[in-house]
Amino acid sequence: MKQVEVLVATKNAGKLSEIKELLKGLPVKLTSLADYPRAPRIIENGDTFVDNAGKKAFKIAAFSGKLTVGEDSGLCVDALDGAPGVRSARFSGRGKDDEANNRRLLRLLKDVKPSDRGAGYVCAVAIADKNGILAIVEGTCRGRIALRPAGSSGFGYDPLFLIPRYAKTFAQLGEKVKHTMSHRYRALKKAAPVLKRYIKKQTEARR
């Protein structure tokens, strides 16, 4: 089956790497905003992950004419009423500094006992082509916020996101295990059938 280009609306190398791994096996050629320097800047000002993912997919698909995946994800901490939420990447300011974000999170939770440090990673994935949105799906993964960072794999809040049944953070578990349960894995698993149907339709139309 001939490959179809899928443009992932991100410049985040960590996210792109995960998406490439999770979509392995599909006949797609993945590109990113790094391959489209003239792409419009997307202001992520939506109230929800779904809003932001849809905005990314729609605007970049309209610009490029390509099948586009827009993704927005973040951490929602129970004791912080769902924060940092859609502001996860900018929790400590505009610099998008993972370590600074993690330090701020730990400061805010310094008096919260382990049993009350429940949290969930959330990921919304939107798929669009030049005609509009094809689908938007979500995936979640529950865990707890550790008392201190641990592990060197992954990115973002992974060194603090503890999976109780393993007693390890995502950053300790590594990609092989993370990719079987992560919020992004669960969202992309739902998105995969949409991509497959689109690719099949495009391939048949070219015959």
What residues are annotated to the active site? 72
For residue 155, CA distances in Å to 13, 192, 197 come to 10, 23, 31
Closest CA to 42 of 4, 51, 127: 51
Structure tokens belonging to residue 135: 């689908």
**Angle made by CA atoms 126, 128, 130, in degrees to the nearest 5:** 160
For 150, the token pair is: 């641990």
Tell me the pairing of strands 4-8 and 28-32: parallel
The one-letter amino acid code at 160 reads L
What order of strands is seen across the sheet that includes strand 28-32? 28-32, 4-8, 67-77, 118-129, 132-145, 161-163, 168-169
